[in-house]
Amino acid sequence: MLHIVNKSPQDRNTLDSCLRVAQAGGTVLLIEDGVYAVVKGNAAESKLKAALGKFKVCALAPDVDARGIADRVMDGVTLVDYAGFVDLVAENKNCQSWL
């Protein structure tokens, strides 16, 4: 399953809810302000590092670039472009958007 998170972990607990409920083996895609979770040293870093063992974690590269954080992305996070976003949707039978 593809889990799409678009809220900043500093503003909402959306990422926490996703990581708590989602079953291992899926993919977590961070988009819009959700990409702030991939910044090294942020408050969500330990949770996201733990999730890397259970999920493939991706972030939308254009959103990372737009926020000027491309040089601070955690190791293990895969950056995808819009075509990669479409591929993730097509590869997964189900998608869950976390609002």
**Cβ–Cβ under 8 Å, residues 77 and 96:** no
Could you read off the pLDDT of 7-48 as tens digits, one per residue?
Answer: 999 999 999 999 999 988 999 999 999 999 999 999 889 999
- Domains of the chain, start order: 2-98 (3.40.1260.10)
pTM of this prediction exceeds 0.75: yes
**Largest Cα span, the chain:** 33
Mean pLDDT, rounded, of the chain: 95
Altogether, the residues listed in the chain come to a count of 99
d(CA 48, CA 60): 16
Cα separation, 56 vs 66, whole angstroms: 22
Cα atoms in the 13 Å half-sphere on the side-chain side of 52: 15
